[in-house]
Amino acid sequence: MAEQIEWEPLQARAVELMNRAYAPYSNFPVGAAGLADDGRIVSGCNVENAGYGVALCAECGMISDLVGSGGGKLVAVVCVDRTGEAIMPCGRCRQIISEHGGDECRLLTPEGDLSMGEVLPQAFGPANLA
């Protein structure tokens, strides 16, 4: 049975970050929050650019926060849109979350609590480079 995640505080942090997003081009602010295995909450928001393709997803900021604040493993992640509802991370961001959370990391999705292994099956990861 998967560990029971307390989603409310995590989602609240994601909403806080979504409200600080810099998304003047898409007008689609995103916030991401993750629970690290030592109990830290890490977070990020999307940061767009006049060079549209250079936009940083919210999950990239969250991973930078994870690594820069001491590292560790992600246990759970949620990303939200402007309504505060959970959205699916894009494909690239699933890969990024997978690297730091593995298949067991929980993800709050529009279809409920799923594992990273379910939303990114047969992920390419560090073991493939061994």
Q: Which are the catalytic amino acids?
A: 59
CB nearer to ligand THU: pick between 100 and 127: 100
Strand partners, 25: none
Q: Tell me how far, at minimum, the Cβ of 101 lies from ligand THU, in Å.
A: 15
CB nearer to ligand THU: pick between 26 and 70: 26
Residue indicated by tokens 């989602």:
11
Measured in degrees and rounded to the nearest 5, phi and psi for residue 109 equal -120, 170
Q: Which two tokens stand for residue 90?
A: 């894009």
Binding site residues, ligand THU, CB under 6 A: 23, 26, 28, 30, 46, 48, 55, 57-59, 79, 89-90, 93
CB nearer to ligand THU: pick between 31 and 102: 31
Q: Tell me how far, at minimum, the Cβ of 104 lies from ligand THU, in Å.
A: 20
Cβ proximity of 23 and 82 under 8 Å: no
Please choose, from the candidates 95, 23, 84, the residue with its C-alpha nearest in 3D space to the C-alpha of residue 59.
95
Cβ proximity of 33 and 43 under 8 Å: yes
Q: Tell me how far, at minimum, the Cβ of 124 lies from ligand THU, in Å.
A: 18
